[in-house]
Amino acid sequence: MPVLKEVVMEAKNKWGNKYEIYHPNYFEQNQSREMLIEILAITKILAKCQFVVCTFSSNACRLVYELMQSFQGDASENVHSLDYFYSEHWFNNTMEAIAEYKPVQEYPLSPDELWAEKGDIIIVKTPINQDGFIRGRNPRLNSEGRFPMYLLKEHLKFEEFSAFVNIK
């Protein structure tokens, strides 16, 4: 895997040993005091990071996210889960396309891929598939199909309302 070696070398050149990229050591005794201390230290270090990529199906990832919230306040934009749909049920949730996606006509990955412009709303109908696609509906085009999950972000809807109208 020459590409991986290049990435590791570039990271070592840029950051030296400030960041540990790969941890090949496994604890021989899983219930040792040293293991607990290292797990707690790693969790705290990750919770203080600016951005974390992990899997929310992992208890450790969810713990890091919750601690991140207590250290930094709203950290919802500081974590990306590789398997978000395994931890949250977001069916019929509205998401937003972050880039234009138009499959190549000569060789589409799937005949029912969904087209979208940047900013289009995609209503998610299924969990993420093994190939990284979800099934969704684009209300602007009134069409349904498969769409790559990595091109979606949560669509936030803001409403104006009087918070404490009945308080005198």
**What confidence tens digit (pLDDT) does each residue in 114-166 have?**
899 999 999 988 877 767 788 899 999 999 998 888 888 888 877 777 766 67
Q: Is the pLDDT of residue 80 over 60?
A: yes
Task: List CB contacts of 157: < 8 A, sequence separation 6 or more.
Answer: 94
78 within some domain: yes
Q: In this predicted structure, what is the pLDDT of residue 140? A: 95
Dist. CA 95–CA 149, nearest whole Å? 10
Task: Calculate mean pLDDT across residues 88-92.
Answer: 59
Highest mean pLDDT among 39-48, 76-85, 100-109, 125-134: 39-48
Helix (H) or strand (E) holding 61: helix 59-72
Give the residue numbers spanning the domain of 123. Answer: 89-154
Domain count, the chain: 2
Residue 139 lies in a domain: yes
- pTM attached to this predicted model: 0.47
Please compute the mean of the pLDDT values over residues 20-46 and round it to a whole number. Answer: 71
Q: Which of 84, 106, 127 is the last residue of a domain?
A: 84
Higher pLDDT, 33 or 108: 33
